[in-house]
Amino acid sequence: MSERGTPSDQALAAAPDSASRATACIVLADGQVFYGHGFGATGVAVAELCFNTAMTGYQEIMTDPSYAGQIVTFTFPHVGNVGVNSEDDETADPFAAGMVVKWDPTEPSNWRATGDLPDWLSRRGRIGVGGVDTRRLTRAIRLQGAPHVAIAHDPDGHFDLDALRAKARAFPGLKGMDLARDVTCAQSYRWDEMRWAWPAGYVRRERPGRRVVAIDYGAKRNILRCLASAGCDVTVLPATATAEDVFAHDPEGLFLSNGPGDPAATGEYAVPMIREVLERSDMPIFGICLGHQMLALAVGARTIKMNHGHHGANHPVKELATGKVEITSMNHGFTVDSQTLPPGVIETHVSLFDGSNCGIALADRPVFSVQHHPEASPGPQDSFYLFERFVGSMRDGARRESQD
């Protein structure tokens, strides 16, 4: 777009069919404009733009706290066609700032649907943009890195492009941003709901299990369900919990959850807690996503910002010890720099897309973590063994204590 707001050839190429007047637009900080059809809430949202290649799970993606500060472009064209339902929410409300799709959402066609996507977004104050050339937008993200954008939805199609461009350019970016404080729980709570199973759905864990403290940096419900299904009695603590808070619950294991933002920023308060637990206890520790990055920082490694991150449900990850390849779900814009892993810390998993680090373990202790999401089940069960490994480590620890 020009300074006067007259569409350039580039902007016109990004516009929807001329027969349909645009009611939404996406303005990149570099000045590119993509027009589309708005749905969901009206207004403006400003965030980092990423793309997700998953073919299913749009509701889970939108309610994943790890997407705080981001707008998600879905590369799969059909989004919204199975509607929404309360069982598929990973948290009570969406954390992604908005969504961009190829085709406008259709009427839901699924027996589990209790509502449609546009109404669900509208009630929760999230903007959707349809009718966009998502392939072209994805190429822009890959080439220039995850851009800062402003998206706007106005049923009358009135857009102040200069103001939107200024908002996009003013967005500070995720580097250096601690978002875990914004998405974590306000106080501790217990969790006993297990994974969904036909025909009962979600059921509660009734038998006693291994005592686990889970640190909530932005925990997804299904991670907690997997812990409960694997045999854990879970107590969830806020992201800012101290080592004293952890030990007060007399845990047999510590879990570090997923979450959004720059791990180095969250590490300012999370790393000291993890290091103290490592110094004072031999308890097993298991981390996922941001929790993986927190553990890596705690043992002396560093994290770096990726060009456009990994977001999708088709990422092949190799377990180096066995050679096994797992199909995984990923959602991260930062990664552990494997070149900075200190002696005694083993790289356990790598991405087969780009060779980036996807897992670490301490050589002499039951402490490990992975970058991918074993609870999301794209494999569908390729990675559940990680939860079982965690519980097995606690069981082994209890057995050694009884023998001493």
Active site residues: 289, 373, 375
Contact assessment for residue 227 and residue 387, using Cβ atoms and an 8 Å cutoff: yes
Angle at 293 between CA 292 and CA 298, to 5 degrees: 100
Beta strands in 112-267 (DSSP E): 127-130, 148-153, 189-191, 210-216, 232-238, 253-256
| Helix, coil or strand: residue 330 | strand
Angstrom distance (rounded) from CA 210 to CA 398: 10
- What are the backbone dihedrals phi and psi of residue 173, each rounded to the nearest 5 degrees, phi first? 90, 165
| Helix, coil or strand: residue 375 | helix
DSSP 287-305: EETHHHHHHHHHTT--EEE
Strand order in the sheet with 210-216: 189-191, 232-238, 210-216, 253-256, 285-288, 367-370, 357-362, 345-351, 303-319, 325-336
Contact assessment for residue 300 and residue 274, using Cβ atoms and an 8 Å cutoff: no
The amino acid occupying position 64 is: D
First and final C-alpha spacing in the chain: 73
Residue 366: partners with Cβ closer than 8 Å, 6 or more residues away = 282, 284, 285, 393, 396, 397
Angstrom distance (rounded) from CA 249 to CA 212: 9
Q: Strand 33-40 and strand 127-130: pairing?
A: antiparallel
